[in-house]
Amino acid sequence: MMNLKRVGYSLLCFVTMVSATTFGELGSLVAEVESKKQEKKQFLSDVFKQRMRTQLMARDTLLLSLNFENKKYKKELLEKSKLFDKEIKKLLEKKEDTLLISKVVPDYQKRVLRLESTWKEFYKNIQIISKNVNDKEALTYITENNVLLLTDIDFILRRYMEFNRSSDVLAKALQHKQIMLFSQIGMPRAYIQKIIKEKLLIEKEIKVIENRQNLSITIHALSRLLKAFRDGDKTLELEGTSNVKFLEKLTKVDKLWSLLEPLYCKEVLTKKEFQLILKKSDEFIKLHTDLVILSNQINDQ
């Protein structure tokens, strides 16, 4: 006769074993999904930094052409351009994603190909100017194409993020808000370098009227963006925040910006003032990077 207690015990052991296996597999699956999510976010964060580097490389090129601390800025230019090349290749290698997104965004593949072509020529001219700071053709190419690099990277990454949104309506709406903040939170770092580059272009008497207008626009854009992080901005699709930690860090950034803005607006700078804006601009980038990191941590919660 069958021992019911033994059967029941065996059945319980079997169910427990299956449940443990199932939950173990589920845990591994969740961990794998989370890992891939963080990996993708880190990839996007790394490539978004390229926007700032486009302006930093142009800035350093102009500093070299003015024979300003050549040893320091030559080293930085070569280091940043090498890093840019490494990171941009990660983006260009995503050929399957490019083909998929191109079916939805007609200009996407065209912009990817243009970015690849522009960067190849840009990198070549950086090598040229690092060996000969007086090479006018290399200087011209870099000063005329750095914003093209910036806008193409920004376009490609925004479309990449939008394409990878959830199909669920509510989740998509929430993700859109996160995308708008994530894609814009690091932009002030690019603006800071762009401002110095435009000041240098005016100093070199290159398209002075155009670059004065560009400078004014960039200063306004940076001021507006910092305010939008705090108070929101419908056009920029930013909501603002009441997060205490975020506002504490943003206040430090605002304070430094209030020191820098009048110097950026000043028509002619003394050598001492110019050295000050270079130093303080580096401080601004460090402070704002802390804000970017905190913003990403809050978004992950």
- The answer on 206 and 133 residing in a single domain is no
Q: Is 170 part of any domain?
A: no
Which residue, 139, 164, 189, sits at the end of a domain? Answer: 164
Domain interval for residue 254: 198-301
- The answer on 208 and 137 residing in a single domain is no
- The answer on 218 and 130 residing in a single domain is no
Which residue, 146, 164, 182, sits at the end of a domain? Answer: 164
pLDDT at residue number 95: 87
Q: Is 188 part of any domain?
A: no
Q: Is 115 part of any domain?
A: yes
- The answer on 156 and 214 residing in a single domain is no
Q: Is 173 part of any domain?
A: no
pLDDT at residue number 93: 87
Taking a C-beta distance cutoff of 8 angstroms, is the pair 230, 250 a contact? Answer: yes
Which residue, 164, 180, 211, sits at the end of a domain? Answer: 164
Taking a C-beta distance cutoff of 8 angstroms, is the pair 180, 237 a contact? Answer: yes
Residue 266 CA, chain-centre distance (Å), reads 28
Taking a C-beta distance cutoff of 8 angstroms, is the pair 182, 293 a contact? Answer: no
Q: How far apart are CA 175 and CA 181, in angstroms?
A: 10
- The answer on 152 and 54 residing in a single domain is yes
Q: Is 295 part of any domain?
A: yes
- The answer on 124 and 63 residing in a single domain is yes
Kind plus residue range of the DSSP H or E element containing 264: helix 244-265
- The answer on 150 and 68 residing in a single domain is yes
**Beta pairing partners, 233:** 238
Q: How far apart are CA 284 and CA 87, in angstroms?
A: 23
Q: Is 69 part of any domain?
A: yes
Taking a C-beta distance cutoff of 8 angstroms, is the pair 51, 151 a contact? Answer: no
Q: How far apart are CA 261 and CA 266, in angstroms?
A: 9
| Cα dihedral sign, 136-138-139-144 | positive
Closest CA to 185 of 148, 242, 238: 238
Q: Is 254 part of any domain?
A: yes
- Please state at what angle helix 4-65 crosses helix 187-203, rounded to 10 degrees: 10
- The answer on 118 and 213 residing in a single domain is no
- The answer on 249 and 155 residing in a single domain is no
- 3-state secondary structure (DSSP) of residue 233: strand
Token duo for residue 232: 């929101």
pLDDT at residue number 23: 52
For the chain, the domain total comes to: 2
Mean pLDDT by 10 residues, the chain (301 residues): 52 51 54 59 78 96 94 96 92 87 90 96 97 96 96 90 62 66 92 96 94 97 97 93 94 96 92 92 95 84 58
Q: What is the largest CA-CA distance in the chain?
A: 103
- The answer on 73 and 155 residing in a single domain is yes
Taking a C-beta distance cutoff of 8 angstroms, is the pair 42, 80 a contact? Answer: no
Provide DSSP, 226-245.
Answer: HHHHHH-BTTTTB-----HH
Q: Is 249 part of any domain?
A: yes
* φ and ψ of 238, to 5 deg: -115, 140
CATH number (domain holding residue 129): 1.20.120
- The answer on 219 and 143 residing in a single domain is no
Give the Å distances, CA to CA, from 124 to 7, 121, 146, 245: 76, 5, 13, 43
- The answer on 150 and 221 residing in a single domain is no
Q: How far apart are CA 34 and CA 30, in angstroms?
A: 6
Taking a C-beta distance cutoff of 8 angstroms, is the pair 225, 180 a contact? Answer: no
